[in-house]
Amino acid sequence: MPLLLAQPGELNKIMAVRGGGETKRFLESMGFVEGAEITVVSEFDGNLIVNVKDARVALSKVMAGKIMI
C-alpha cells in the first residue's frame, strides 16, 4: 500500500519506489530505497514527515503516494 495510508508511529518497510526515472532516483538519493525502514512521524493535511534511515524528511502528498510499503 502507499505510504499515505501508514499509521503515524508505525514501523514500515519500503517495498518499492514508483514514479520512474528522475523522481525515483531523486527519492532514492534522499534515502527512500527498497528495504529501508520508514516511520511516519507526523501528518499535516496529507503531507508527511517521515523518519527514514534516521533522517527526518518532509514529503508532499504526491511524493508520499509514490512510495509503497
Partner 1 sequence: MGIPVAIAMNMMDIVRKNGDHLDIERLTKELGCTIVETSALRGEGTRNAAEAAIAAASGSAPKYLRFSDEVEAALKAIKKEAGNKIAGPSERFLAVKIFERDAKIMAALNFTEQEKQRLDEIVTMCEEQLDDDSESIITNERYNYIAELKAAAVVKGQTGLTTSDKIDRIVTNRFLALPIFAAVMFLVYYIAIDSLGTIVTDFTNDTLFGEWIQPWVQEQLEAAGTEDWLVSLVVDGIIGGIGAPIGFAPQMAIVFLLLSFLEDCGYMARVAFIMDRFFRQFGMSGKSFIPLLMSSGCGVPGIMASRTIENEKDRRLTIMTTTFIPCSAKLPVIALLSGAIMGGEWYMAPLMYFVGFFAVVTSCIILKKSELFAGDPAPFVMELPPYHFPAAKNLFLHTWERVAGFLKKAGTVIFLCCVAMWFLASFGMVEGSLELVEETEQSFMAVIGNGLAPIFAPLGFATWQAVAAAFSGFVAKEAIVSTMAILVGLAEATEEEPDLWQAVMAMFPNAVAAFTFLVFNLLDSPCLAAISTMGQEMNSKKWTIATILFQNLYAYSVCLVMYQLGRVFVGGEAFDAGTAVAVALLVGFVYLLLRPAKKGSKNVLSVEA
Where does this chain bind partner 1 (CB under 8 A)? 8-9, 21-31, 33-34, 36, 41-47, 49, 51, 53, 55-63
DSSP string, 6-69: PPTT-EEE--EE-S-HHHHHHHHHTT--TT-EEEEEEEETTEEEEEETTEEEEE-HHHHTTEE-
CB of 5 to partner 1, least distance (A): 16
CB of 67 to partner 1, least distance (A): 11
CB of 18 to partner 1, least distance (A): 12
